[in-house]
Amino acid sequence: MNALIFGANGQDGYYLSELCKSKGIKPTGLSRSGDWIRGDVSDCEQVEEFVKEYKPTYIFHLAAKSTTRHDALFENHAAISTGTLNILEAVYKHSPTSKVFITGSGVQFYNDGNPISEDTAFEASSAYAVARIQSVYAARYYRSLGIKAYVGYLFHHESPLRKPNHVSQKIVLAAKQILRGADEKLQIGDISVEKEWTFAGDVAQAIMTLIEQDNIFEAAIGSGKTHSIKDWIEVCFSHLGLDWTRYVEPAENFQTEYKRLVSNPALMHSLHWQPNIDLRQLAVMMIETHKITL
């Protein structure tokens, strides 16, 4: 058994590739950066050649620009929408028995603060959401042609592999720098925003659980439990023995996309998947991964 992972250089790609290895599945990663095979999912000829050559058991499409900003419109359209079409068409033509996982997102749904399931209505609230919605309809179309195309709607998840610009890692790194004696203030937007803080390794397990199904093709993947950004700050700073109120101040002119984003993962729970790592364990993992020399 083998797997192709498009967008393998991110945290999800890492944990999926490790999971594949543990299950005896040989992963081949493709990415525009990192140590994987250099590839661009928006290049239809390149994608077709990869699928034709490997005829993989599984394909995971994870590639995207991790932002909902409008100025990433064309980059996300190329990676998400065009990339999905390229993969599905290549599978249709050259490897129709492959199972394909397409990444969806919690932010592509109408969000009134209540739990979101795979049956919640879509809402084109950003250019990023538009690309995600387009890719889902592509998956549904190719499913009608006999391709096993799965969609996992991922909610907020984290790991020590997060880049420094993500709020979770920004808070962790700031707390560690302060512990080392840095005289700095951490500016954060609305710390009352609530979202899920699931471990990316648990999310990888859920993705694999979904794609191993024969009759279930779309599911919301998340913990179903929210914590505020304030909760994350408190846990990280208290683990290092710091009083967060001395170092955190609000960022000016900050506008949040939502006040609460939470999944209804009942379908995934029915498939016997549950996340194993809670908020505090995740914070400790991210803090302790790169230990500070005091």
With a cut of 80, say whether residue 253 has pLDDT above it.
no
- DSSP for 203-257 reads HHHHHHHHHT-SS--EEEES-S--EEHHHHHHHHHHHTT--GGGTEEEPTT---S
Task: Give the pLDDT score at 151.
Answer: 98
Q: Which has the minimum average pLDDT: 10-14, 199-203, 247-251?
A: 247-251
Mean pLDDT of 168-193: 90
φ/ψ of residue 259, rounded to 5: -95, -25
Residue 294 has pLDDT above 50, yes or no: no
**So what's the pLDDT on residue 184?**
80
Q: Could you give the CA distance from residue 294 to residue 285 in angstroms, rounded to a whole number?
A: 18
CATH number of 2-157+198-221: 3.40.50.720
Output the pTM of the full model.
Answer: 0.93
pLDDT of residue 181: 85
Q: Is the dihedral of CA 225, 231, 236, 240 positive or negative?
A: negative
Tokens of 124: 């084109």
Cα maximum dimension of the chain: 60
Q: Say which range, 66-80, 123-137, 195-209, 260-274, has the weakest mean pLDDT.
A: 66-80
Reduced to 3 states (helix: H, G, I; strand: E, B; else coil), residue 286 is: helix
Q: Between β-strands 99-105 and 148-154, what pairing exists: parallel, antiparallel or unpaired?
A: parallel
Predicted local confidence at residue 291, as pLDDT: 45
What pLDDT sits at residue 245?
92
Condensed to tens digits (0 to 9), the pLDDT of residues 233-250 reads: 999 999 999 999 999 988
Gap between the Cα atoms of 122 and 197, Å rounded: 22
Q: Where are the domains of the chain?
A: 2-157+198-221, 164-195+225-263+278-288
Tell me the C-alpha distance between 52 and 55, whole Å: 6
Q: Could you tell me the pLDDT band of residue 290, with boundaries at 50, 70 and 90?
A: low
Q: Report the top-level CATH class of 164-195+225-263+278-288.
A: alpha beta
Residue scoring higher pLDDT (187 or 82)? 82
Quick one: average pLDDT of 49-63?
96
Mean pLDDT taken over the chain: 93
What is the C-alpha separation between 135 and 154, in angstroms, rounded? 14
DSSP state of 81: I
Amino acid 69: pLDDT: 79
